[in-house]
Amino acid sequence: MPAVLIDDVYKRFGELEVLKGVSLSVEPGQVVALIGRSGSGKSTLLRCINGLEAINAGRIEVAGHVVDQDPKKLRELRKDVGIVFQSYNLFPHLTVGQNIMLSPRITQNVPTAQAESLAREVLAQVGLSEKFDSYPDNLSGGQQQRVAIARSLAMRPKVMLFDEVTSALDPELTGEVLLVMEKLAEAGMTMLLVTHEMAFARNVASTTVFMHQGKIWESGTSKEVFANPQTPELRNFVSAGAK
């Protein structure tokens, strides 16, 4: 059974049709990179997968959950699907540990001692064991993004979504975040990521999906997509961005 099944999905914002019949199947443990120019529908698709945007037609199923806008069903969906954005969205008045412990305690009624143990475990996973008692303002952008990833991991998700998580970071900090994501991929996490990091897509993602004008224009193994683009649109995109 696919971890993510997207079947003929359409999404409009008013008169603007952003997704135009998108279909995609993602197997457990697969890492899928969504690439394409701004406005091609990549981030909208990711938000639809997590129920942050309601689709107008089609069907999305993630980790056994049919995505719809019923609040109870959305809560259950988000226990199994983590999402990390470009902005870290950490609570500045809480320590790193408290930020990570919050969701397991509130949504899963995890006892405080167990939540703390879990927070320390996922912090170690992203290489920030020593920052448990630090406040977000005392961390670099890369460290804050790694904390945001740890916060999602604390929910023990079956699928992780990453929406251009490195686009606000300088190259050095980008590298440390991508390294964490690469380790997650190696550990078998099912991941969909919107990224402009072409080298990461080519070398880490098992599959690359090129979106153009609200449609999946081309898709295949990352090696195939980058080595042998089939359309002028992808050839132009790769030659401009895949240095």
Tens of pLDDT along 52-85?
999 999 999 999 999 999 999 998 998 899 999 9
Q: What is the mean pLDDT of residues 90-96?
A: 95
Residue 106 contacts residue 75 (beta carbons within 8 Å): no
In a domain, 53, yes or no: yes
pTM assigned to the model = 0.92
In a domain, 144, yes or no: no
**β strands within the chain, DSSP E:** 4-13, 16-26, 31-35, 57-62, 65-66, 81-84, 159-163, 190-194, 207-212, 215-221
In a domain, 169, yes or no: yes
Is the predicted pLDDT of residue 103 greater than 70, yes or no?
Answer: yes
Q: What is the mean pLDDT of residues 24-32?
A: 96
In a domain, 80, yes or no: yes
Opening angle at CA 157, ends 155 and 159, nearest 5:
155
In a domain, 151, yes or no: no
**Residue ranges making up the domain that contains 221:** 4-90+158-241
In a domain, 210, yes or no: yes
Predicted pLDDT of residue 34:
97
Tally the domains of the chain. 1
In a domain, 202, yes or no: yes
Question: Residue 133, Cβ neighbours under 10 Å: how many?
Answer: 9
CATH number, domain with residue 184? 3.40.50.300
In a domain, 61, yes or no: yes
Predicted pLDDT of residue 242:
46
- Radius of gyration in angstroms for the set of CA atoms belonging to the chain, rounded to a whole number: 18
131: Cβ contacts below 8 Å, ≥ 6 apart: 96, 123, 139, 143, 147
Predicted pLDDT of residue 241:
66
